[in-house]
Structures are given as C-alpha cells and as structure tokens.
Amino acid sequence: MSYTLFYAPGTASLAVHWMLIELGVPFEAEAVDIKAERSAAYLALNPSGRVPTLVVDGRPVSESAALLMLLAERHPQGGFAPAVGAPERAAWMEAMVFVANTLSPAMRDWFYAEKDGDPAGAAAVQALARLRIEGAFERLDGMLADGRPYLLGEMVTTVDLLATMLMRWSRNMERPATSWSRLGPYVTRMRARPGFVAVCRREGLTEWLNA
C-alpha cells in the first residue's frame, strides 16, 4: 500500500493527515498552496483544486470523510470504524454522514459566504450557517451525555477525527465548540492524543493546543 497526501495546513486535509499518523502507515505528504493558482499537475489529480487529495496506490481520491472511511476499511487493525456487520456499524455511518453533510457544509458557508455567493447576501448566509453549526454542536454534545469519552463510545473513530477538525475551525467564533459543557472536555481529550500533537507540529499549527 502506498499513500501520498496533498494537504494545506489547518484545512479539510487535517483529519486525513492526522489519521495517517495515527495508523502509523508510511506515507508521503506534499503541501499545496491553496491561496495560489493550482498547477496543471494538481488539477489533473483533483479538478476542484481543493484539498485533501490522497493518492492511493497510484490513484487519486478526494473528500475528507470518504478518505477517512477508506483508510479505516483498508486498515481495520486501527479500530477507527466498526467492522462490517457489527451492531455499531450503523451508528458510525450515521454519525459520519451527519458530520460530513451537516456540520462541514455549514462551516464552509460561514467562512466563504461572501466568496461563494452574492456578497450582498453574505450576512444572511452566515447567520443561517451559525444556527446550523451550533445545532450540530448541540447534537454532538448530547452524544456525550451518557459519560462516554468519545462520540461513539469507548473507542476513537473516524467520526472523532472529522468532528474535532471541524470544531477547531470554530475557535474564533462567538460560540466555539469548546463552550459546550461536554464538548469542552472532549476536545481536551482529543487534543491530548499524540497523533493530534504530531499533525499540528507537522503542519506548523500553534493555535488550539492543550496548555
């Protein structure tokens, strides 16, 4: 198995970069300047020009959630997803789709409201995005109400990596994820993982670390 990750620090590629580190598998990593025009070579790999792109055994694959699920399937020994047929599999799939389809798009609307649409309507788009983001945080906070350490129970899964990455993006919002009573300690647990510390070091990220 061979992997080459194209990433940009602190962006949607962070969760995939983090998971590769957690799995302990060999991989190459190449930074992409997302503020500059993409090269023809990169656009050939990912026509959207976005990150991440993971070249898996010579074939490019994109989309963070899909890559996390693919890596969990290719490396079941990592325990980042319930096995096919396991009773917990449905809850894992539901949570992955919820985070990828609800929280992630709302985050993009918040940050890119003016760029992706009519600047005159950006404030309204951001207001709706904020409601969706806070509603998602409320739901994730509720998943921890029974005292479980991670979103699906005792084990860290791809859901935790994806959700934590998106929670990091809220750090400068009026109500960051850490302001929820259960998400705050949860984030501290996730940030304490050696894999998170390592990915931040590799990407040169100094904000949002445990003291």
Measured N-to-C along each axis, helices 64-74 and 14-23 cross at an angle, to the nearest 10 degrees, of 10
CA distance 33 to 51: 10
Amino acid letter, 61: V
Q: From start to end of the chain, where are the E strands?
A: 3-7, 28-31, 53-56, 59-62
Measured N-to-C along each axis, helices 158-169 and 89-98 cross at an angle, to the nearest 10 degrees, of 20
CA distance 52 to 109: 19
Domains of the chain: 3-78 (3.40.30.10), 89-193 (1.20.1050.10)
Percent of the chain whose predicted confidence (pLDDT) is above 90 = 92
Higher pLDDT, 135 or 121: 135
CA distance 63 to 58: 17
> Does the predicted model carry a pTM greater than 0.85?
yes
CA distance 51 to 133: 22
Q: How many separate helices (H) and strands (E) can be counted in the chain?
A: 9, 4
Query: pLDDT digit string (tens) for 133-168?
Result: 999 999 999 999 999 999 999 999 999 999 999 999
